[in-house]
Structure 1
Amino acid sequence: MKKFTMFSQILQSVIPQEEIAPLINEIGYVDKARKFTVYDLFLFLAQASIEQWKGYRDGEARMGKSGLQIADHSTISKKAKEVPYQLFKELLHLLIRKCNRATKRKLRIPKELLAVDSTKITVGKGRLPWAPLKGERSGVKLHVALVIDQGNLHRVTESTGNSPDLVHAPEVIDPSFVIVADRAYGKHEMFDKYESAEKKQYFLIRIRDNTILHDPTPRKRKAPFKGTIERDITCQLGVKKTRTKKRFRVVTLKDPEGNPVILATNLHKPSAENIAEMYKKRWQIEVLFRWIKQHLNVPKLFGTTPNAVYGQLYTALLVYVLMKLVFEKGNASVHASAKLTFAEFDRLFELDKLPSEWLVLLTSFLKMRP
Structure 2
Amino acid sequence: MPQQESGKAIGPVSIKQLNAVCQRSTTLPSPRKRPTFLFKRLFEILVSKCNQSTRRKLGVPTSLLLVDSTTIMAGETRLPWAVFHGKRSGIKLHVAYDVVANMPTKVIETKATKHDGPIGEKLANPDFIIVENRAYGKIERFDTYAQQSQYFVIRIKENMTLVTPHSLQRQSVEGFSVTRDITCRLGTEQCRSEKRHRVVFFQDDHGHEIRVVTNLLHVSAEHIVAIYKARWGIEVFFRWIK
Q: TM-score band, normalised by the shorter chain?
A: 0.7 to 0.9
- Cα distance change, pair 105–98 in 1 and its aligned pair in 2 (3 A): closer
Deviation of 1:143 (Å): 1.1
Which among 102, 113, 119 is matched to residue 54 of structure 2? 102
Question: Is the CA contact 2:54–2:101 (under 8 Å) kept in the aligned structure 1?
Answer: no
Question: Is the CA contact 1:248–1:264 (under 8 Å) kept in the aligned structure 2?
Answer: yes
Deviation of 1:171 (Å): 2.3
Provide the C-alpha distance between the structure 1 equivalents of 2:164 and 2:86, rounded to a whole number of angstroms.
43
Corresponding residue number in structure 2 for 1:257: 206
Deviation of 1:21 (Å): 4.4
Deviation of 1:134 (Å): 2.2
- Cα distance change, pair 230–282 in 1 and its aligned pair in 2 (3 A): same
Which among 140, 152, 164 is matched to residue 215 of structure 1? 164
- Cα distance change, pair 144–40 in 1 and its aligned pair in 2 (3 A): farther
Q: Which amino acid aligns with 1:224?
A: S
Q: What pairs up with 1:317-356 in 2 under 5 angstroms?
A: none
Corresponding residue number in structure 1 for 2:191: 242
- Cα distance change, pair 189–105 in 1 and its aligned pair in 2 (3 A): farther
| Higher normalized strand content (fraction of residues) | 2
Corresponding residue number in structure 2 for 1:303: none
Question: Is the CA contact 2:162–2:186 (under 8 Å) kept in the aligned structure 1?
Answer: yes
Deviation of 1:98 (Å): 4.2
- Cα distance change, pair 87–254 in 1 and its aligned pair in 2 (3 A): same
TM-score, normalised relative to structure 1? 0.56
Question: Is the CA contact 1:215–1:235 (under 8 Å) kept in the aligned structure 2?
Answer: yes
**SS state of the match for residue 26, structure 2?**
helix
User: Unaligned stretches of 5+ in structure 1?
Assistant: 1-17, 25-30, 32-36, 42-74, 294-370
Corresponding residue number in structure 1 for 2:178: 229
Whether 1:39 and 2:26 are equivalent positions in the alignment is yes
**SS state of the match for residue 224, structure 2?**
helix
Q: CA RMSD in A?
A: 2.3
Number of residues paired by the alignment?
224
Question: Is the CA contact 2:183–2:197 (under 8 Å) kept in the aligned structure 1?
Answer: yes
Provide the C-alpha distance between the structure 2 equivalents of 1:151 and 1:134, rounded to a whole number of angstroms.
33
User: Unaligned stretches of 5+ in structure 2?
Assistant: 1-15
Provide the C-alpha distance between the structure 1 equivalents of 2:67 and 2:138, rounded to a whole number of angstroms.
14
Corresponding residue number in structure 1 for 2:7: none
Question: Is the CA contact 1:105–1:111 (under 8 Å) kept in the aligned structure 2?
Answer: no
Provide the C-alpha distance between the structure 1 equivalents of 2:48 and 2:209, rounded to a whole number of angstroms.
38
Provide the C-alpha distance between the structure 2 equivalents of 1:40 and 1:99, rounded to a whole number of angstroms.
29
TM-score, normalised relative to structure 2? 0.84
Deviation of 1:205 (Å): 0.4
Deviation of 1:121 (Å): 1.1
Provide the C-alpha distance between the structure 2 equivalents of 1:96 and 1:117, rounded to a whole number of angstroms.
18
**SS state of the match for residue 102, structure 1?**
helix
Corresponding residue number in structure 2 for 1:174: 125
Corresponding residue number in structure 1 for 2:236: 287
Deviation of 1:225 (Å): 5.2
Whether 1:277 and 2:226 are equivalent positions in the alignment is yes
Deviation of 1:238 (Å): 1.0
Provide the C-alpha distance between the structure 1 equivalents of 2:139 and 2:21, rounded to a whole number of angstroms.
39
Q: What pairs up with 1:11-22 in 2 under 5 angstroms?
A: 20-22=18-20
| Higher normalized helix content (fraction of residues) | 1
Q: Which amino acid aligns with 1:93?
A: E
Whether 1:131 and 2:82 are equivalent positions in the alignment is yes
